[in-house]
Structure 1
Amino acid sequence: MTTRQARPVVLLRPVPGTSPIHELWAGTKLIVVLAFSALLAFYPDWVPLALVTILIGIAIRMARIPRGVVPSVPIWLWLLLLVGCVTATLGGGEPFVHLGSVEIALGGLMKFVRVTVVAVVLLALGMLVSWTTNVADVAPAVAKLGRPFKALRFPVDDWAVALALSLRAFPMLLEEFRLLYAARRLRPRPVLTSRRARRRRWAIEMVDLMAAGITVALRRADEMGDAITARGGTGLISAAPSGPRRADWVVMTISFVVIAVSVVLQATVLAGI
């Protein structure tokens, strides 16, 4: 019997290929993510959730996201959700379900499920943006969106450069830490008889791993600094031309129409039910 290998989380790396979602301006995706996050923060109900989920599903279909990039859900997370469902059910509240002479209150369970669905939808939206956006396009988009704040003397360009460098460095450092952890597991383990010796050995290994991680991070930072200097400095990172096109305005219009419909339905029709 062969066990299925767990798929790791792959973020900040666009899926190969092209699609209408890939070709959208990075600023459009950031605006849509911010708008949907604000909608679900103020109206985390089933109607806004359903409309946003449908829109995200259509976008995933248009982006041609393969199933192989979706990470596997670990067993401990399923167990944690099960424990959350059980404890939330104990909270009681409407609606009530009658099983013979037993009355079960599902109000807490429904609230827990709704919060979980909100988290999953926002996570799917963030993953979609990560899988369809080039990291190099984020800094110019942030610089363009933050241009009105320059009148208040906010260092928008510096913020955009710092964000771009963080997004570039995160996948590299994650891969380096994976290699360090794999190398640590390949080291022969000494035979330790006492619990105190095992704790001491574990502390020493953690210190060694952290020191190696800091060394790798500094080396990567030095290499990235040399590469940026050779290409003209950090000013070119946020100065690349970028802006919305016709497709971006269509996407933003559709997104804000969905948000407006959700708010109207939630505030008028569903509020009277």
Structure 2
Amino acid sequence: MVAGFVGISMIVARIPVGAAPRLPRWFWYGLMIGVVLTAQSHAAPFVTVGGVRLSVGGMLDWLRLTSVSMTMFAAAALLGWTTPLSELAPALSRLLAPLRRLRLPVDEWVATVALAIRCLPLLVDEIRTLLAVRRLRVGRRPGHRRMVGRLAALPLQARSTTELLCTAIVTCLRRAAEMTEAIVARGGFGAVAHQPAHPRRADAAALAALVGLAVATFLV
């Protein structure tokens, strides 16, 4: 039901099919390895195919976990596609407002989440730049004896990967220091979290649909 609700929400929001990310091959390979391993588990019931006993219970658990993960990923993607980044911090501040009565650091939480989401594209750009610089420094190896060359170059690749990670950490720390100075100059975390935000009719409709879905899930 939750997956259907997310799918209907995508249709209503008119999300194009091309907006879906293309998952790499290792992701699908990981799913295949996972289903093969769970088929060899000891969760009942079992079925025998070609003399091999397969665990149907384990495969159902794998399917349940995979579907829940995919649904959560789709819901997060839907939130990112339909919500501007500038409205995320005010929305979180409005939703977490009751926790301020418990003297919880709501402003710090909201500012941290908002800045993390806003800085994610910057981090991706930095990693791409560092990878491009690494390719220019290393270059391409000749095609002959490629496998032998790769095995011999494993220590060098491990060292270059470590250097790349250290460079990325230093770059992120530098950007974090610059952003901290900018936030302090603009009034601190309160300037990020305290922004005017009021629910609209679309928000009320989405909340009502979500409550109805939750009630239907518990009843069914």
TM bucket normalised to smaller: 0.7 to 0.9
Counterpart of 1:236 (choices 177, 191, 216) is: 191
**C-alpha spacing 1:230/1:52, structure 2 compared with 1 (3 Å):** same
**C-alpha spacing 1:78/1:202, structure 2 compared with 1 (3 Å):** closer
Q: Which letter does structure 2 place at the counterpart of 1:93?
A: A
The residue that corresponds to 2:132 in the other structure is: 182
Task: Count matched residues.
Answer: 213
CA distance in 1 between counterparts of 2:49 and 2:175 reads 62
Deviation at residue 196 of structure 1 after TM alignment = 11
The residue that corresponds to 1:249 in the other structure is: 204
CA distance in 2 between counterparts of 1:194 and 1:100 reads 42
CA distance in 2 between counterparts of 1:103 and 1:177 reads 46
Q: Does 1:201 find its partner at 2:151?
A: no
Q: Is the 8 A contact 2:40 2:53 kept in 1?
A: no
Identical columns (%): 36
The residue that corresponds to 1:11 in the other structure is: none
Structure 2: gaps of 5 or more residues: 142-147
Q: Which letter does structure 2 place at the counterpart of 1:206?
A: T
Listed one character per residue, the Cα deviations across residues 161-180 of structure 1 (whole Å, up to 9, x for unaligned) are: 12211111121012111111
Q: Does 1:210 find its partner at 2:165?
A: yes
CA distance in 2 between counterparts of 1:58 and 1:181 reads 39
CA distance in 2 between counterparts of 1:177 and 1:155 reads 31
**C-alpha spacing 1:231/1:179, structure 2 compared with 1 (3 Å):** same
The residue that corresponds to 2:44 in the other structure is: 93
Correspondences of 1:123-272 after superposition (within 5 Å): 123-189=73-139, 198=153, 200-225=155-180, 227-228=182-183, 231-265=186-220
CA distance in 2 between counterparts of 1:126 and 1:58 reads 15
Q: Which letter does structure 1 place at the counterpart of 2:81?
A: W
Deviation at residue 195 of structure 1 after TM alignment = 9.7
CA distance in 1 between counterparts of 2:120 and 2:60 reads 36
Deviation at residue 181 of structure 1 after TM alignment = 0.9
CA distance in 2 between counterparts of 1:143 and 1:80 reads 38
The residue that corresponds to 1:17 in the other structure is: none
CA distance in 1 between counterparts of 2:69 and 2:168 reads 31
Q: Which letter does structure 2 place at the counterpart of 1:251?
A: A
Deviation at residue 152 of structure 1 after TM alignment = 2.0
**C-alpha spacing 1:232/1:100, structure 2 compared with 1 (3 Å):** closer
- Greater relative contact order, per chain length (Cα 8 Å cut-off, separation 6+): 1
Correspondences of 1:8-47 after superposition (within 5 Å): none
The residue that corresponds to 1:111 in the other structure is: 61
Listed one character per residue, the Cα deviations across residues 184-207 of structure 1 (whole Å, up to 9, x for unaligned) are: 01213598x999984553344234
Listed one character per residue, the Cα deviations across residues 48-97 of structure 1 (whole Å, up to 9, x for unaligned) are: xxx11221111111222222221222222222222222232233523x66
